[in-house]
Amino acid sequence: MPKATTLSEAIAVFDPRAPLSGQALREFYVARPGSPLGQMEQLLLSLRQSGQTVKLLLSGHRGSGKTTELNRLAERLEEAYGNRYEVIPVDVSRQIATLTYHDVVLSMALAVFKRAVSLDIITRSPVEAVQGLLQRLGEFLQERLYGPGLVKLPQVQPTEIAAKLSIGVAELEAKYSLSATSRANLQKYVDENLSELLSQVDEVAGLLTVQTRRMPLLTVEGTDKPDLARSREIFCDHQYALTALRNVSVIYTFPIELVYSETYTQIKDGFGERYSLPNLKRVNRDGSPNSEGHACLEQIVTNRLATERIDAEALRLLVEASGGAPRFLIRMMRNAATRALARGNAEQIQPEDARGAIGEELGDFIRMLRSEHYPVLWERFRDKTLSADPVHQELLQMSALLEYSNGGDRWCDVHPILLPEVKKRTGHAD
C-alpha cells in the first residue's frame, strides 16, 4: 500500500482497526523508543538454540500497537535469523465479549493443524510416524462435527488423511464461529479432554519442527481485549492451559489493567516473561517536552500521508491530542481527512478538521466516564501514580489514564483530550 497523496487515499491508509502487516508494515512502520521488540527477539533466539520454548505476555493499552510490533517481530525473525521460527498468528477477537480459555486453546490448536496441512508436513512424514496421530486428530475433528462414533478414519495413506484433516479443520472452524451449540460442545470437550488436546497439538508441532527445522511460535491477538473479569479467568484461573504446550512458544497480548491487579504476581510467575509496550511520550513525567516521542508520532502520520496534505498546526494538534497512543492518532487522522473532504474541494487537513476529530473523541470519553472518575483523574494528573484498585483498572481499560515508561520508572497521565474537561469538572479550570 503506497503513501497517500490525496485525502481520499488517506481514509484508506489510516484504518484504526488494521495493524500493519505485509507491504504496509515495510512502508509505514516506525521504530519506537521503549519498544521491547529487541529483548523479545534475543530471548526467543537464545531459547531456540537450546530447543526450549517459552510463553510470553505482551501488555499495553488497546491501540498501543502491540499487534504491529508482533508482526514486525515475525518479519525480523524471518529475514534476519534464517527462519528459526514458524510464526503462526492467532486472532481470537471475534469472541471478545464472551471469550473463554476454551476459545484461546482451540484457536491455537486449529492454527497449528492448519499450518501443518498448508506446509504439507503430514504428507511428507513417514506413515509410521503420523498414522496414530492422524487417527486421533481425525477422530477428534469428526466426532466433534458429527457425533461420537459415527465416523472412523480408515488406515490409509497420509495424503488421503491430510486432505480429510484439512477439510475437517475448516469445517470445524466454521461451525465453531457460527454455531452456539457447536461452540458449547467443543468447550465441554476441552474441559474434559484438555491434556489430550494439548498433547495432539504438541505432536503436530513436533512434526512441524522436525520437517521444517523451525519451531512454531504462536502470536495470539485479542487476549488483551476482554473485560477484567474474563481476562482474570483466562490468565489466572486457566493458566495451565495457556502454558502447558511443550513444543510451541506463544506470545499472548495482555491487558494493561490486569498488570495493576491483586492477581498479577500470580499470573506473571506462571509465564516465562512479561514485556510492556508503552505509549509514546509527548512529554516527560515532569511535563517537559519529549522531542523523540513527538517526532515518532509525526512520522506515523508522514509515513502514510504526503506532508502537503496536512497543515502543520493540524498535525501538531492531532499528535498532542493522541496521548502517544497510535490508534487514537490513526483514528483522528481518518476523521480529520473525512471532515476536510466534506468541506468540499479541500486538499489539505486544516486545524478546524483536527479540532473536530478531537472533539468527537472527547464526546466518546464523556459518555463513558462517571462523576466519581473525574476527581481520581485530577489526582493522577497531579501525582502520575497508579494503584491496583477497580477504579484505576476501569480508567486504564478505557484509556482515560495512559501508562508511560522511562526505563524501569512507570507512570501515568490523564489522556490529553480529557484534561480540560477534568479541570472544569473538578474546579481547576484555568
**Percent share of the chain, pLDDT over 70:** 86
Q: Are 324 and 282 in contact (CB under 8 A)?
A: yes
Reported as a pLDDT band with limits 50, 70 and 90, residue 197 is confident
**Tens digits of per-residue pLDDT, 271-287?**
988 999 989 999 999 99
**Tens digits of per-residue pLDDT, 124-155?**
655 555 555 556 665 665 555 445 543 344 44
Considering 29-33, 109-113, 173-177, 190-194, the range whose residues carry the highest mean pLDDT is: 29-33
**Tens digits of per-residue pLDDT, 90-109?**
999 888 888 999 999 988 98
Report, as an integer, the average pLDDT of 30-35.
92
Is the pTM here over 0.85, yes or no?
A: yes
Q: Which three cell numbers stand for residue 366?
A: 464523556
Question: Would you call 148 exposed, middle or buried from its count of C-beta atoms within 10 A (0-12, 13-18, 19+)?
Answer: exposed
Reported as a pLDDT band with limits 50, 70 and 90, residue 391 is very high
Quick one: pLDDT at residue 114? Answer: 84
274 φ/ψ angles, rounded to the nearest 5 degrees: -130, 125
Report, as an integer, the average pLDDT of 164-168.
66
Quick one: pLDDT at residue 137? Answer: 60
**Tens digits of per-residue pLDDT, 311-353?**
999 999 999 999 999 999 999 999 999 999 999 888 999 999 9
**Tens digits of per-residue pLDDT, 358-388?**
999 999 999 999 999 999 999 999 999 988 8
Quick one: pLDDT at residue 232? Answer: 93
283 φ/ψ angles, rounded to the nearest 5 degrees: -135, 160
Within 119-238, where are the H helices? 121-124, 127-146, 158-178, 180-212, 228-232
Quick one: pLDDT at residue 34? Answer: 87
Pairing verdict, β 215-221 and 85-91: parallel
Question: Would you call 323 exposed, middle or buried from its count of C-beta atoms within 10 A (0-12, 13-18, 19+)?
Answer: buried
